[in-house]
Structures are given as structure tokens and as C-alpha cells.
């Protein structure tokens, strides 16, 4: 089966389009013929991306931590054939380091907004018997690590939501795919920090690799696609039957320090 769908005549909504992953995903969908609705908080970045893409691109600024703006975004987007719920905040660091407001913001942007957008857009897809829902989860949604309780909570939740929806929507004409990236180079929550991964973790994937996985999910209907080196993917494989072993391995590999460094690098984005 082809890994690149023909999206001519279809409309895609991409959240978090101002970040590295969202930008790459938007470009890939546009190249396949989709009209792309670009959502994010930074209006000037959205407008620049829309100008780059040219026709079939529209900026729709929205702050997904605000419930009323999520609802307004769904209404402004109109009939959507492909939803890519990509917006996300880091959520790294011990829970007591967060104010309750900061913690709620992570939950709202990473998980609640995706659920609310799905609730608003899915009925139209079902009526047309056509569409695809793509959720950018994470390897952290398969294997929890030290210092990532908030982030893992949202990514486990998003992955579970996607996998259950995949079963609910079987034979409906609407597909569902969870994409699970590991640490991504060049851009995104990890790439933007400028930190270096410990040796032996394998070649980091890029935003373009994530975008290719999104296209593959739409084309094939696969419920889940990992985008990570085998070392990172293996944590997800083994957690199901040996969670304590995986957690111990992460600790021995310096996971606590890595998480602390990541939390410091992402602190201003809370």
C-alpha cells in the first residue's frame, strides 16, 4: 500500500503548526494536495508559513490552553477531513516544581484540546464517511521515565485515546493513527533545547521523519507508528511486561539528569 496519500480536495487542520514538527507536517500535507489550516499561538509565524505554502494554506491562530479558543478554532476550521493534533508543551520536571496553573496548561494543550477538537470535528467526518485523525503522542506515552510525570500522563492519555478511537471507528470510513516520536533532532521540544543525547541512543529522527509517518498513517490506516531509534522504541516494547526493568535501565543511563536538564531548558515555555 502506498505510504503517501492523495489529499487533493481535502482539508487538514494542523495544531502546533508554529513548531518544528507542525511545520514539517503542514508542508507534507500541502505537498500531497491538501488545503491546510495552520493553528498555533504565534500569528506572525503562521502567516509566514502560509505565505511560503501559497494557495491552499490559511493561518488560524489559537491558544489551545483556553477552552473557548479550542471551540472557536473548530468552528473556524469548518469541514475538516484530516486532524493532526500535534500541539504540545514539554511537561518535564518533578510535579512539585509546577504551579497548579502550569500543570493544568500542560494537560489542556497536550490532551484536552485534542479530545475537544475530535469531539467537534468527528461528527462531520462520520457523516461524510471520510477522514483521518492523527495524534502526535510519544515514546513517553509507552514508557514512563523519571522526571516526566506530567508529560507522560498526557502522552499515555493521547495514545490510549487514539487506540480506543481506532477500534470505535472501525469500518466507519474514518481512520485513526497515533504517532510516537522519540527525541527529535533539529526542532521540536527536544531539538529546540540544544541538548545532546547520551552516546548509544542511536540516530535521532527529524521532523521530516515524523511528517512521513503522518502521511503513512493516513495512507495505510495503521493505528500506531513509532518514529525513534531502536533503543528508544525498545523501552516501549518492554514496559508492558517488565516496567521496573525499563525504569531501572533509564535511571542507570542517566535519565534523571537528562530530565532535569530538559526541564531547565523548557522552563520558560511553561
**Catalytic positions, written as ranges:** 151
Q: Are 182 and 206 in contact (CB under 8 A)?
A: no
194-227: b (≥16 Cβ within 10 Å) or e: eeebeeebeebbbbbbbbbbbbbbbbeebbbbbb
Q: Alpha carbon of 199 to those of 44, 132, 148, 235: distances in Å? A: 38, 37, 21, 16
- Cβ neighbors of 2 (< 8 A, separation 6 or more) are 219
Q: How many CA atoms lie within 13 A of 21 on its CB side?
A: 31
Q: Lay out the sheet containing 131-136: strands in order across.
A: 57-59, 35-38, 11-14, 82-85, 131-136, 174-181, 224-227
Q: Of all helices (H) and strands (E), which one includes residue 246?
A: helix 243-252
CA distance 83 to 52: 21
CA distance linking residue 165 with residue 223, whole number of Å: 9
Per the CB < 8 A criterion, the answer to whether 13 and 80 are in contact is yes
- CB contact at 8 A, 141 and 110: no
Q: Give dist(CA 213, CA 235) in Å, integer.
A: 20
Amino acid at each position: 500500500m502506498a505510504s503517501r496519500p492523495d489529499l487533493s480536495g481535502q482539508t487538514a487542520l494542523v495544531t502546533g503548526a508554529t513548531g518544528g514538527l507542525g511545520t514539517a507536517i503542514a508542508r507534507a500535507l500541502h505537498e500531497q494536495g491538501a488545503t491546510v489550516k495552520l493553528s498555533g499561538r504565534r500569528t506572525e509565524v503562521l502567516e509566514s508559513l502560509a505565505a511560503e505554502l501559497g494557495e491552499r494554506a490559511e493561518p488560524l491562530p489559537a491558544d489551545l490552553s483556553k477552552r473557548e479558543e479550542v471551540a472557536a478554532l473548530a468552528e473556524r476550521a469548518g469541514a475538516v477531513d484530516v486532524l493532526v493534533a500535534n500541539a504540545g508543551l514539554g511537561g518535564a520536571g518533578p510535579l512539585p516544581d509546577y504551579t497548579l496553573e502550569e500543570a493544568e496548561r500542560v494537560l489542556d494543550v497536550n490532551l484536552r484540546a485534542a479530545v475537544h477538537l475530535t469531539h467537534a470535528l468527528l461528527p462531520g467526518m462520520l457523516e461524510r464517511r471520510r477522514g483521518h485523525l492523527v495524534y502526535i503522542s510519544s515514546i513517553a506515552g509507552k514508557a514512563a521515565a523519571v522526571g516526566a510525570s506530567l508529560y507522560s500522563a498526557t502522552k499515555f492519555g493521547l495514545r490510549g485515546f487514539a487506540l480506543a478511537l481506532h477500534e470505535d471507528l472501525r469500518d466507519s470510513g474514518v481512520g485513526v493513527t497515533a504517532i510516537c516520536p522519540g527525541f527529535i533532532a533539529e526542532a521540536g521540544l527536544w531539538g529546540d533545547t540544544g541538548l545532546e543525547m547520551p552516546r548509544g541512543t542511536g540516530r535521532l529522527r527529524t521532523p521530516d521523519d515524523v511528517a512521513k509517518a503522518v502521511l503513512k498513517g493516513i495512507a495505510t490506516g495503521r493505528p500506531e507508528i513509532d518514529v525513534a531509534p531502536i533503543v528508544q522504541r525498545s523501552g516501549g516494547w518492554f514496559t508492558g511486561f517488565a516496567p521496573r526493568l525499563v525504569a531501572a535501565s533509564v535511571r542507570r543511563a542517566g535519565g534523571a539528569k537528562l530530565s532535569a536538564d530538559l526541564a531547565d531548558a523548557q522552563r520558560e515555555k511553561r
